[in-house]
Amino acid sequence: MKYYRSHVLVSINDTSINAGVKDFIQALRAELAKTGLQEEINVLETGPLGFFGRGICLTVYPENINYQDLKTEDIPELVNEHFLKGRPVPRLMLDSDSKFSPKLNYDQRVVLRNSGIIDPENIDEYIGVGGYEAWEKALTQMQPMEIVEEVKASGLRGRGGAGFPAGIKWSFSAPLEAEQKYVVVNAHDGEPGSFKDRLIKEGDPHQLLEGTMICARAVGATKAWIYIRGEYKLCIQRLEKAIAQAREYGILGKNIFDSGFDLDIEIKIGAGAYVCGEETALIESLEGNRGNPRWKPPFPGVEGLWRKPTVVNNVETLANVPFIIQNGADAYRKFGTPECSGTKVYTILGDVAHPGLCEVDMGTTLRTIINDYAGGMKKGFRFKAALVGGAAGVILSERHLDVKMDFASLNQYAAVLGSGAILVMNEHQSIVDILWSILRFFRHESCGKCAPCRNGCQQLYKLINKIKKGNGTMDDVEVMLTVAEMMQATSFCALGQSPIMGIRSAIENFKDEFIAITKK
């Protein structure tokens, strides 16, 4: 094995690709060779490093020094100063003033334990860190219902928003006799500011495939589909490559590991409609129909894709499964809280010093996530609010900063973990403007199938538009709340049932802003 003095991990993602990262890597390797350092410094391509939106970024190990927004013209200085003379270049570092470094906490990661470490396009690197061992165990050492029971015992709950126990969902389909069963991966990521599933797929596509395979084995499905939005070009490319590699290695296909079990996985590219994040609307779209939700029951676990038993799980949910099967339910329960086991992946956005990606234990407070993983607020700004859970989430105030981010704790505030997005706002941001943006989104994305949502979203947008322009009254605010409550009670699917959360939390926590902008 070859040993290097330093490893340079270069993040390959949509942002860095647009910034020219491929040419940058070529130029960096050439400069290292020019100075005779190519045998000492190893340049590696990897997935998301934990911070994003900063152009070309890299991390130098074992020094754990992070550089951001790099240009090709910076390379000679970087190589000469850091790699030749051992002097980091402060002007290129992530935050040389505060010495902030993203808290990567790999020992506490489950879903992102390989992201930023391995090359996501190299199956050998995934296998080298224990990849597909859980799949082999599930296929050759466990019976399907044993897998289901292990996932049940782990307490894993769906990470797509609803938080339904994954093992229980699997148990609906596993015992059924059917000529065909399916697993469908919801990789849609349709909410504004919500893209943690994209970063999971970009950083470690094989772990998603392995979780999907184990789920298929558990429920007896021989076909799986990954439903992904068409804008995610890099994700699609990496997943297609991962599937091809798995087939080549005999990890997918016929008679896998001489077990007699057959499985294939394909990708379905969606057109981006938000409603297709709802599992039955996703199934309709996958069948080639308009993406409208179906009446339930029957639930997909009994009658789903092409009316066959179908398990639909979110990307993050399935990415937890290999760890559970490899290490056991008890090991998984060491993460999180007794009521909510495991970890949660978040994207932290808005008025924080360092927008980024993190994975923390369930039950970690909102304050800790903002301060330890995003560097706190931007300089000169004070925390005002956070939109937690995406557009279908709630707006929390400063008095909620110490709320524990888990299903049980947030339920006390009528809040949800949702899609894992945390949008942080400073004291100058208008809550009315934020609510306007949320309701405009729902108005645009309503599929129009049911009258409460179709008409309700339109009425909510009209009301918030009137209030935003200073022409509304507090009676309009109350009408908006009433309409949203009626939509929650009567809408066909979760899209129409969701606006109440943002509206109610905005009014309850920031009522003074509505009073100040409305007519007396």
The per-residue pLDDT for range 157-176, each reduced to its tens digit, is 999 877 899 999 999 999 99
Residue 163 is predicted with a pLDDT of 86
Same domain, 28 and 129: no
The overall pTM is greater than 0.95: no
Neighbours of 222 (CB within 10 A): 15
Least confident segment among 305-314, 405-414, 417-426: 405-414
- Residues 209, 76: one domain? no
Report the percentage of the chain scoring pLDDT > 70.
97
Retrieve residue 315's tokens.
Answer: 């990307």
Q: 417 with 460, same domain?
A: no
Judge if 205 and 303 occupy the same domain: yes
Alpha carbons within 13 A on the beta-carbon side of 56: 20
Encoding tokens for residue 191? 């909410």
Residue 222 or 4, more confident: 222
Distances (CA, A) of 222 to 27, 206, 215, 336: 45, 18, 10, 33
Domain presence at residue 1: no
Do 25 and 50 share a structural domain? yes
pLDDT band at 54 (very low <50, low <70, confident <90, very high): confident
Q: How far is CA 138 from CA 12, 73, 155, 240, 327, in A?
A: 32, 50, 18, 23, 12
Closest to 228 measured CA to CA, from 202, 259, 261, 250: 202
Mean pLDDT for 130-138 is 97
Domain that residue 67 falls in: 6-102
What pLDDT is attached to residue 96?
Answer: 58
Tell me: do 113 and 93 sit in the same domain. Answer: no
Q: How far apart are CA 444 and CA 272, in angstroms?
A: 12
Spatial separation of the C-alpha atoms in residues 332 and 323, rounded to whole Å: 7
Q: What's residue 97's pLDDT?
A: 59
Taken in order 193, 159, 218, 183, is the CA torsion positive or negative? negative
- State whether 293 and 162 are in the same domain: yes
The band of 10, judged by pLDDT with boundaries at 50, 70 and 90, is very high
CATH of the domain at 184: 3.40.50.11540
For the cut 60, the answer to whether the pLDDT of residue 299 exceeds it is yes
Does residue 151 share a domain with residue 59? no
Res. 417 pLDDT band, cuts 50 70 90: confident
Alpha helices (runs of H) in 65-109, residue ranges in sequence order? 75-77
Q: How far is the C-alpha of 188 from the C-alpha of 197, rounded, in Å?
A: 8
The domain boundary residue, chosen from 332, 354, 385: 332
Same domain, yes or no: 224 and 321: yes
DSSP tag of 280? H
Check whether residue 118 and residue 177 sit in a common domain. Answer: yes
Counted domains in the chain: 4
Domain final residue, candidates 409, 426, 443: 426
Residue 379 lies in a domain: yes
Q: Regarding predicted confidence, which is higher, 328 or 191?
A: 328
My answer on whether 265 and 364 are in the same domain is no
Could you tell me if 245 and 289 lie in one domain? Answer: yes
